[in-house]
A and B are shown apart, each in its own frame.
Chain A
Amino acid sequence: MNEIEENKIISEDTNSDDMKVLGDLTSSEYKWGFITDIESETAAKGLNEDVVRMISKKKNEPEWMTEWRLKAFRYWQKMEEPTWPNVHYPKIDFQDISYYSAPKQKPKLNSLEEVDPELLKTFEKLGIPLEEQKLLSGVAVDAVFDSVSVATTFRESLKEKGIIFCSISEAIKEHPELIKKYLGSVVPYTDNFYASLNAAVFSDGSFVWIPKGVRCPMELSTYFRINSQETGQFERTLIIAEEGAYVSYLEGCTAPIRDNNQLHAAVVELVTLDDAEIKYSTVQNWYPGDKEGKGGIYNFVTKRGACRGKNSKISWTQVETGSAITWKYPSCILQGDNSIGEFYSVAVTNNYQQADTGTKMIHLGKNTKSTVVSKGISAGYGNNSYRGLIRIGKNAEGARNYTQCDSMLMSDKCGAHTFPYIEVENESSKVEHEATTSKIGEDQIFYLNQRGISTEDAVNMIVNGFCKEVFKELPMEFAVEAQKLLAISLEGSVG
């Protein structure tokens, strides 16, 4: 065996090392269930124009931003909640939610040492000690705590490259020309019920701008965490890659245990110009509710990228193990000729979780290409739906799509559904759709048992194998975390 092949084997061995980690994780209780007692400032429940103005004022926003929020709010008032997703939940009382929560204002901080130690402890529990991150990992972290950005690292080294990575509130003040040009340009405030609500009340989020020809030297990462009880979190993220630029962005989420359902309605907008590429990876682990289906996050997210320039590329990779309800369709508008859209997804529903997720690939430019790989895993009473739209426009000569949609069932009481929509207006295009549904094989488990591997590890191994095509798209550390999450989410689910 030559050296290259040996290396290959070693790299493929990461799985078995992870299996060891899995063995340590014996508790099936939600691991990240703790509450930080930082004093926070929370608005009274309810939503009206005054609340929208208050949010804008709290954030010292310019008048044009306040106006934009108000337009969104007025539009939202006339809208109705969508009922088409294949999910069921009690009606949300939008007047029973507080729309703003921030850690109490502190004077501006110059270094991490000045950050509230309680907060730093929280980050440590999350496994992201900022100091260490700063020193060791090469990942810049814009930590969003509840709704206000508290600490941002690596700003300096990014600044040297001309990269802007900051909270969106900061960007509104410091880079109004970019915000005016791009905010709402991919997901307008009229887009859908939750996107409109988000536009009216968004609290904070990240802003990234990569200048022409720059390859971002590190993976950018934001950790979100809902902390105040009954505070909906409305994140807004905007990433722009100018001509020939490249950035990989990681989004990871955890949330503490709550009895009351928490609403999370984020909006993410991506824009790539000529020859630019954005890779956006998510590991979503919001609290899924308990085993009886009580509590858990409602995750109603609008994520969309526009490949505006030719030869540009947007790639979404997501691992969704959390939330009571997930409603999410990271999409690509392939406007530029030869642009590429990708969507790689693993969605897990266990106990009483429900997910309706998928993607939209809108082919407008010539020779645009898209790939969709969706892996749905249902366990317990979980209900998992893939919903995807492939649209080939009139002018999309030579457009191509490949969709692969696999479902795995872990119990007799769970469900897997596939809703593919295909609209083709150009005859030179090629659209392929493949779908499979399988029950996790008793014969596979027995085979692994017979080689000395426990049933729990066998299930993890089979599921990880099933998801491999998606995991390999994730950055290394994220892939490891995703495997662990998957193991925890599915613990004891095969009986």
Chain B
Amino acid sequence: MLSIKNLYANVDGKEILKGINLEIKAGEVHAIMGPNGSGKSTLANVLTGNKNYEVTNGNVLFEGRDLLDMDPETRAREGMFLAFQYPIEIPGISNATFLKTALNEIRKYNNLSELTSTEFLDRIKDKAKILGLDDTLISRAVNVGFSGGEKKRNEIFQMLMLEPKFVLLDETDSGLDIDALRIVSSGVNIYRNPNNAFLVVTHYQRLLNYIQPDYVHVLYKGKIIKSGGKELALELEEKGYDWIKSEELETEKV
């Protein structure tokens, strides 16, 4: 589904990603772990087309098509979804209006008819129930006055509403208490199926207890320096990132 080859990217002229290679197939969940400043969020922003991030080398294919050539809204309409680390507030626009616009744009792009108000409301009810969301959240302005936990839940709610093929979770666990973490994770697990894929960006292993990855990659100084199964996450938890760092230093010496 997603194929990243030798990806280099800059932020404010500083090189952050230094040759990322990653293959993600439908039905897979990959986790990217790494210490602060390793480039995890940069990867998420580059893949979704944030123009503050400049790709300097490499290419990315999304379902066989050149992803980097698409503008951000086209990537979204093609089925790429980012659950933001810091969801943005849009004052004066209700969640419902925002979601209906987004959903219909995506459907139009994929030659599907727009949802009627009834269909839309039914879908809202279904998905809100999964996440135990208060109905009033839907009519409130997008993320305005939401608690940290509500914002993260709202991101997952949007994911369920928009039904993307490829989901990037950027530090979705940060700022969540254990109950919220459980709810958010269950939303992801319910949505997980053989036709979609996830890239879970996280600093801590904690989230991976709830969302079990098929593969874990360690990102360090803009490169994936180690990949493995879910046991790698546990190893990291136990030994800390220093273990990887020293291993990396060893390799560099050789």
Contacts and interface: CB of A to CB of B under 8 A. Distances in A.
Interface of A: 1, 5-6, 8-10, 12-13, 15-16, 19, 441-444, 446-455, 457, 461-462, 464-469
Contact of A15 (B50, B72, B93): B93
A449 B88 contact: no
B44 to A, nearest CB: 10
Given A9-B96, A452-B162, 7 more contacts: A447-B90, A448-B90, A449-B49, A450-B73, A454-B105, A461-B98, A469-B92
A8 B90 CA distance: 19
Given A13-B117, A454-B105, A465-B141, A447 B87 contact: yes
B94 A12 contact: yes
Contact of A462 (B76, B90, B121): B90
A16 B100 contact: yes
Given A9-B121, A465-B91, A450 B82 contact: yes
26 contacts: A5-B135, A10-B117, A12-B139, A13-B100, A16-B98, A16-B101, A19-B101, A446-B72, A447-B84, A447-B88, A448-B90, A448-B98, A450-B72, A450-B73, A450-B75, A450-B82, A451-B162, A452-B102, A452-B106, A452-B162, A457-B101, A461-B90, A461-B97, A462-B93, A465-B90, A465-B93
Interface of B: 48-52, 71-73, 75-77, 81-82, 84, 87-94, 96-106, 109, 117, 121, 124-125, 128, 135-136, 138-139, 141, 158, 162
B92 A13 contact: no
Instruction: Summarize B's interface: helix, strand, loop or mixed.
Output: helix
Contact of B76 (A8, A13, A449): A449
Contacts of B124: 1, 9
A449 B71 contact: yes
A16 B97 contact: yes
B135 A465 contact: no
A452 B77 contact: yes
A464 B81 CA distance: 25
Contact of A1 (B52, B76, B98, B135): B135
Contact of A451 (B71, B98, B138): B98
Contacts of A468: 91-93
A447 to B, nearest CB: 4
Contacts, number: 115
Contact of A449 (B73, B97, B128): B73
A466 B141 CA distance: 11
A242 B71 CA distance: 59
Contact of A452 (B50, B73, B94): B73
Contact of A453 (B48, B75, B102): B102
Contacts of A10: 117, 121
Contacts of A6: 121
A465 B88 CA distance: 14
Nearest to A469: B92
A461 B105 CA distance: 14
Contact of B138 (A9, A442, A444, A469): A9
A466 B92 contact: yes
A454 B84 CA distance: 18
A101 B94 CA distance: 48
A454 to B, nearest CB: 5
Contacts of A8: 139
B88 A444 contact: yes
Given A6-B121, A13-B117, A454-B73, A466 B91 contact: yes
A452 B70 CA distance: 12
A279 B240 CA distance: 67
Contacts of A1: 121, 124-125, 128, 135
Contacts of A5: 135-136, 139
Nearest 6 CB-CB pairings of A with B = A465-B92, A468-B92, A449-B72, A451-B102, A447-B88, A465-B93
Given A447-B88, A449-B72, A452-B76, A461 B106 contact: no
Contacts of B128: 1
Contacts of A457: 101, 105
Contacts of A441: 88
Nearest to B129: A1
Which of A16, A19, A462 has the largest count of B CB atoms less than 10 A from its CB?
A16
A450 B98 contact: no
Contact of B48 (A12, A450, A464, A467): A450
A143 B188 CA distance: 59
Nearest to B100: A16
Nearest to A447: B88
A199 B76 CA distance: 59
A455 B73 contact: yes
Which of B96, B103, B117 has the largest count of A CB atoms less than 10 A from its CB?
B96
A314 B125 CA distance: 42
Contact of B93 (A9, A443, A446, A464): A464
A297 B232 CA distance: 70
Nearest to A466: B92
A457 to B, nearest CB: 7
Contacts of B136: 5
A451 B158 contact: yes
A443 B84 CA distance: 11
A27 B52 CA distance: 29
Contacts of B102: 448, 451-453
A450 B93 CA distance: 16
A336 B96 CA distance: 43
A313 B71 CA distance: 51
A101 to B, nearest CB: 42
B53 to A, nearest CB: 11
Contacts of A449: 49, 71-73, 76
A447 B139 CA distance: 19
Contacts of B139: 5, 8-9, 12
Given A451-B76, A452-B102, A454-B105, A446 B90 contact: no
Nearest to A451: B102
B75 to A, nearest CB: 8
Contacts of B104: 16
Contacts of B49: 449-450
Contacts of A448: 90, 98, 102
A69 to B, nearest CB: 46
Contacts of A442: 51-52
A469 B91 CA distance: 10
